[in-house]
Amino acid sequence: MENNTANANRLDPLMNLREVAKCTGRSVRHLWREIANGRLSRPVPGRPARLFESDVQKYLNRLRDERDQNSGAGQKPSPVVENERN
């Protein structure tokens, strides 16, 4: 028989949408749109709507990756050229 403490450490905690909204800085309505568009995993059945913490982390990682790609992270900054006024 496995140790119950070891099993508890492997459980993926659930977060309700208000908690997710608070930690992501997004509204609950926005999160529902992200779920509808497939960008955020569907909640587990039941009420209130809850998401696995690991799914929220994947969503945040995806947002971070998109931000980094769009900002040109990893590229050399362009040299600053001062305007000459005469």
Q: Three-state SS string across 44-83, please?
A: ECCCCCEEEHHHHHHHHHHHHHHHHHHHCCCCCCCCCCCC
Query: Tell me, what's the pLDDT at 70?
Result: 87
Q: Against a cut of 0.85, is the pTM above it?
A: no
Q: How many domains are there within the chain? A: 1
**Residue 17 lies inside a defined structural domain of this protein:** yes
- pLDDT per residue over 36-66, tens digit each? 999 999 999 999 999 999 999 999 999 999 9
Q: What is the CATH number of the domain that holds 49?
A: 1.10.1660
Q: Give dist(CA 85, CA 57) in Å, integer.
A: 51
**Residue 73 lies inside a defined structural domain of this protein:** no
Q: Give dist(CA 59, CA 44) in Å, integer.
A: 16
Query: Tell me, what's the pLDDT at 28?
Result: 97
**Residue 2 lies inside a defined structural domain of this protein:** no
